[in-house]
Amino acid sequence: MPNSARTKLRRLPDQGRYDRTTIDAILDAGLICHVGFVEDGLPVVIPMLYARDADRIIMHGSSASRLTQALSTGLDACLNVTLVDGLVLARSAFNSSMNYRSVVIFGRATAIKDPADKTRALRLFSEHIMPGRWEEIRPPKDIELTATFVLQMPIEEASAKVRTGPPKDNAEDLDLPMWAGVVPLKLRRGEPVTDTLDIGIPRYVLDDPRF
């Protein structure tokens, strides 16, 4: 059941999901979230890379960033992750849609200040973006940790919304002589482009099962 009035779906409630299994699966599949909050009376929405660490979302940015500093003060925030799975082409513009999976989380972000927890969070963040990478790259220096703001946001007030399946046309439109159906969409990795030192592309890049 929804755990707050804010997370309860009012439009198309049959598409709502409130179980952590669904919510976590969507969060683990995504790469980019959008975080919205109000600063100085004005709405702000920023895209950020993120990672899920059990019951919290990890984000990071520059310590000099006005936006990360604003979030760390405990402003009420709304975080969204959306995955688009297909274009749903109905026989009418009104019934055309998308198949998608999305999560909305309400909460407040706080800064992670303990150096060990900060480093662990950055490792989890790196492994979410490219699994296997952290063991190969140079770990962050103290000065780099100081220059990086790491934020955490609890997954406590959250809901998912999922749309799957074919178009839902009106009965009177079903005999219209036009194509209708779903065009699947998927994030696809391109050919890796090597930087200045060509020592071979790691297998974890080539074999990433997500793409």
Q: What is the pLDDT of residue 63?
A: 79
Per-residue pLDDT of 13-42, as tens digits, reads 888 888 999 999 999 999 999 999 998 889
Q: What is the pLDDT of residue 2?
A: 60
Which parts of the chain register pLDDT below 50? Answer: 1
Per-residue pLDDT of 72-89, as tens digits, reads 888 899 999 999 999 999
What domains lie within the chain, and their CATH numbers?
13-169+199-206 (2.30.110.10)
CA 134 and chain centroid, separation: 20
Q: What is the pLDDT of residue 96?
A: 97
Q: What is the pLDDT of residue 164?
A: 96
Q: What is the pLDDT of residue 174?
A: 95
Give the burial class of 76: count Cβ atoms within 10 A of its Cβ; 0-12 exposed, 13-18 middle, 19 or more buried.
exposed
CA 60 and chain centroid, separation: 14
